[in-house]
Amino acid sequence: MKKFLTSVLLCTTLLGAGTLRADNILLSTKNSSLLVTADKGKAPLFQYFGPSLASIDDVFNSGAAFNDPVYPQFGVQCSRETAIQATHNDGSMSLELVVESVSREQRDGGEVTAIATKDKYYPFYVTVYYKTYPDNDVIETWTEIRHLEKKPVTLYRFASAFLPVRRGDNWLTHFHGPWGAEAYLYEEPLTDGMRIIKDKDGVRNTHSSCPSFMITLDGRPDEQTGGVIGGTLAWSGNYRIAIDNDNTHTTRIFAGINEDQSQYVLEPKEVFTTPVFAFTYSNEGKGGVSRNFHRWARLHRISHGTAQRDILLNSWEGVSMKVNQEVMDQMMSDFSGLGGEMFVMDDGWFGDKYPRNDGSSSLGDWVVCKEKLPKGIEGLIASAKEKGLKFGIWIEPEMTNSRSELFEKHPDWVIQQPHREMYKGRGGTQLVLDLSNPEVQEFVYGVVDNLMTAHPEIAYIKWDANMSLFNYGSTYLPRDKQSHLYIEYHRGMEKVLERIRAKYPDLVMQACASGGGRINYGFMPYFDEFWTSDNTDAMQRIFIQWGVSNFFPAVAMASHVSVDVNYQTGRRTPLKLRFDVAMSGRMGMELQPAHMTDEDKAFARRAIADYKKIRPVVQQGDLYRLISPFDKSGYASLMYVTPEKERAAYFVYKMEQYHNMPTPAFKMAGLDPQKTYLVKELTVVGKPIPQDGKQFTGAFLMETGLDFTVGGEHASRVLELKEVK
């Protein structure tokens, strides 16, 4: 914090009440600096972002200053990509923003700097915010747009952020993938032209692409070395990230809400606030960017980000919708015997007039199906308590079915278009509720509030969303603001979640959306974790979790052990591999324990006990990705190290097997080279590695590494490292 204040004061003079008189504003984190020129009456200019500056003169004397607008607008300059475009009520499409003031304040654990601008002619205002924290290297930025014109102004572009990057040998790292293969990593050199990363699902936004990227500053991406800038948009709806290389010395990045079909009619005095865009710099390669984001997320962006997560059993893959009191009791009893801590009853527990037996009915009718659960949720909670478990439950409150009591009573509550037949989703009947409508918001809030009021012992909610936004149209929004629906849906969702968090601050919630459809930082302030993918195949999860880990920490990454012949891929994998992959995230189980052999149960009991040993390291440690599965070497490995570097957990997976296959040296990272570590293998099947129980210096483990056999195809090893005092 002291360094931050020093950096600002070197370049500014305080005027009082948090207002600054400034030519150059230097914002600094521990390892990076951002420099903006903000002369009153002139356009604010973005000058620099990168490694920490000792002197701002270096930027200007070296010719490295960008001199780009902080927030490029369509107006006098109209040949380049812009961050904002508006049409005034007189028909003018021009903006020319200049600095009115610069201020700063302490807010929510960080320092917020606000650059207030106004159009030279119109009473149209844009404030650009930057927020830094004393405990991490991530910078947040967002904008507020308002006007005092007599009639509405229409916004056609309203980015959260503009970020210039010096062109050179730049590579782009980004993440794409459909249901069951989320967040696959892609890397490519940045060439001339524009690269667009976008989503238009409307409800979920990370099945096709992810609103996150990294750009290298000095060549091909590397995990441990090189200068890298990373960015992610904290928004739960449609987004657009444009990376523009226009034959100049600068790559220009624009990130924000996807404006397609979302032009916004801004009323006088109304404030339009864009989502946060978070960005960071690291000279420790992609891994350094990831660790920066993980630290920021745990401390500031994920609900209960520093709390230990429970080991849970979810009922879905075990019994699907065939929920009843006897089976739930049996699953809880078996899981308790394995050392589990929480049981979550998934879909199939509700519906009165229309019992929920498949995906074609009952969403919206959130009452217990007495036929299945004659003792109600009270009976399940009592059973869980008796077995020493916490209890959780599945809901999908944003949705309904056309075959439901809710739809029969409120057909106007669903998103729909006049004169058109409704497109229906899952089960041929699923529809999306219109969260722009305050009545619908109240209903969705009530789903959680009614459950928690009646059953305050519920410790966990799995919140699902299994449909895209079709039938674009709202019976609530006025005719001239139908284009607000994509935005107002998520504003309505945020209002609901804010109320839930205010009333139930200790409730643990998982964001699920047909698997990994909601892995974004727009949702994570309200959720403790996300369901990483419906695909629980251990081999494919190695790839999925590798991609997700680039921006999201293990504490939020739900990873479950499922059956040996996987439901999604049909692949058979050893139980040890399934546990070892799940142990690299928030471990849980997704199967029917009654179908496990006694031998499997004995191993599961040992593996759960082993995970509890390293859980604090995995969930709160610094991640080092070592051998990428995307490199196709036949291996993948990663490790977690505590900030104090006194403990670590190391994972290695055998991806394939062929004769005379070379074995790499299993080098580690992130350790203290001066410390000595005791190596202990966990989840052992057969003989442990030869190094089990032996001691090595951190320098040796990182520079030379260990040489051991992982095993045949789909084999794996997990090592625990402890400092020898």
Contact 603, 611 (CB under 8 A): no
Stated pTM of the model = 0.96
Q: Where are the alpha helices (DSSP H) in 300-372?
A: 316-319, 325-338
What is the three-state SS of 122-172? Answer: CCEEEEEEEEECCCCCEEEEEEEEEECCCCCEEEEEECCEEEEEECCCCEE
Tell me the one-letter amino acid at 192. D
DSSP bridge pairs for 22:
12
In the structure encoding, which two tokens stand for residue 585, read together? 């995230």
Alpha-carbon gap, residue 603 to 620, rounded angstroms: 25
pLDDT digits (tens, 9 = 90+) for 663-687: 999 999 999 999 999 999 999 999 9
Residue indicated by tokens 């998520």 = 490
**Domains of the chain, start order:** 2-301 (2.70.98.60), 312-531 (3.20.20.70), 624-723 (2.60.40.1180)
What's the burial of 16, exposed, middle or buried (CB within 10 Å: 0-12/13-18/19+)? exposed
To the nearest 10 degrees (0 to 180), the angle between helices 575-582 and 538-548 is 10
* Segments in the chain below pLDDT 70: 1-22
Q: What is the pLDDT, as a whole number, of residue 249?
A: 86
Q: What is the reported pLDDT for 246?
A: 82
Q: Under the phi-then-psi rule, with left for phi > 0, alpha for psi from -120 to 50, and beta for the rest, what region is 67? A: left
Q: Are the C-beta atoms of 241 and 174 separated by less than 8 Å?
A: no
Q: Write phi, then psi, for 117 (nearest 5 degrees).
A: -125, 160
- 3-state secondary structure string across 57-73: HHHHHHCCCCCEECCCE
Which residue shows structure tokens 């590798």? 546
Instruction: List, in sequence order, the alpha helices (H) in 410-556.
Output: 438-454, 485-503, 538-548
What is the distance between the alpha carbons of residues 77 and 162, in angstroms, rounded to a whole number? 15
Contacts of 104 (CB under 8 A, 6+ apart): 8, 18, 20, 111, 112, 113, 114
Two structure tokens written together for 403: 């075959």
